[in-house]
Amino acid sequence: MKNLIIFLLALSFGSQFYGQTYNNFEPSKTQFMIRGYGHTGFNYMDSGDEKESSYVGSAFAPIFLFKHSDKLMFEAELEFELENNNLEIGLEYADVMYVLNKNMTIRAGKFILPFGTFMERLHPAWINRLTTRPLGFGHDGIAPASGVGVELRGVFDLGGSSLNYSVYSTNGPRLKDGNVEPEEAGMLMFENFEDNNLSKAIGGRLGLLPFADSSTEVGFSAYSTNGVGEKDSEYEDIGAFLYALDFSFVKQVTPLKGIIDFKAQYNNSNVDTAEFAEAHGEEGELEEVEGEEVYSFENKSNSFYTQLSYRPTMAGSDFIRKLELVGRFSNFNTPEGAEWEEKSNQYAFGINYWLTWRSVIKLSYQTTETEGGHGDSGITNTDGFFVHWAIGF
d(CA 255, CA 172): 47
- 349 lies in the binding site for another protein (CB under 8 A): no
**DSSP one-letter code for 235:** T
> What mask of x and - would describe binding to another protein in positions 158 to 197, judged by CB under 8 A?
----x-xxxx------------------------------
Considering the rule CB under 8 A, would residue 77 count as an interface residue with another protein? no
Of 120 and 341, which CB lies nearer to another protein in the complex structure? 120
> Measured on CA atoms in the order 283, 45, 41, 359, is the torsion positive or negative?
positive
Closer residue to another protein, CB minimum distance, 251 or 374 = 251
Least Å from the CB of residue 212 to another protein: 8
Give the range of 42-50, 235-243, 330-338, 380-388 binding another protein by CB under 8 A.
235-243
**Which string of x and - marks every residue 88-107 that binds another protein (by CB under 8 A)?**
---------x-xxxxxxx-x
CA dist 47 and 345 (Å) reads 14
In angstroms, rounded to a whole number, what is the distance separating the alpha carbons of residues 54 and 387? 11
When the beta carbons of 72 and 82 are compared against another protein, the nearer one is 72
Smallest separation, CB 370 to another protein (Å): 29
* Closer CB to another protein, 74 or 347, in the complex: 74
Interface with another protein includes 362 (CB under 8 A)? no
How far apart CA 393 and CA 384 sit, in angstroms, is 28
Q: Is 126 in the site for another protein (CB under 8 A)?
A: yes
Shortest Cβ 167–another protein spacing (Å): 5
Judge whether 113 and 120 are in contact, CB under 8 Å. yes
Q: Which residues ranging from 41 to 60 are in contact with another protein (CB under 8 A)?
A: none
What CA–CA distance (Å, rounded) separates 227 from 25? 55
Task: Pick one of 43, 58, 215, 296: the residue that binds another protein (CB under 8 A).
Answer: 215
3 state DSSP class of 156? strand
Question: Is there a contact between 39 and 378 (Cβ–Cβ < 8 Å)?
Answer: no
Q: Furthest-apart CA pair in the chain: how many Å? A: 103
| Residues linked to residue 188 through DSSP beta bridges, in sequence order | 175
**Which own/partner contact pairs does 286-289 have at CB distance under 8 Å and 24+ positions apart?**
286/178, 286/179, 286/182
Helix, strand, or coil (residue 14): helix
For residue 323, how many C-alpha atoms fall within 13 Å in the half-sphere facing its CB?
12
Asked if 218 and 179 count as a contact pair (C-beta separation under 8 A), the reply is: no
Among positions 121, 300, 321, 374, the unique one binding another protein when judged by CB under 8 A: 121
The residue among 35 and 343 lying less far from another protein, judged by its C-beta, is 35
Whichever of 13 and 393 has its CB closer to another protein, that residue is 393
Using the rule CB under 8 A, is 152 a contact of another protein? Answer: yes
CB of 46 to another protein, least distance (A): 31
If one asks whether residue 71 binds another protein (CB under 8 A), the answer comes out as: yes
Closest CA to 269 of 217, 216, 323, 340: 340
Parallel/antiparallel/unpaired status of strands 146-157 and 162-170? antiparallel
295: part of which helix (H) or strand (E)? strand 294-296
The reply to whether 85 sits near another protein by the rule CB under 8 A is: no
52, 88, 157, 287: residue in contact with another protein (rule CB under 8 A): 157
354 binds another protein (CB under 8 A): yes
Q: How far apart are the first and last CA of the chain?
A: 55
Query: Among residues 56 and 250, whose Cβ is nearest to another protein?
Result: 250
Contact residues: another protein, CB under 8 A: 27, 31, 33, 35, 65, 67, 70-71, 73, 75, 97, 99-105, 107, 120-122, 126-127, 152-157, 162, 164-167, 202-204, 207, 213-215, 217, 222, 224-226, 239-241, 248, 250, 259, 261, 270, 272, 354, 356-358, 392
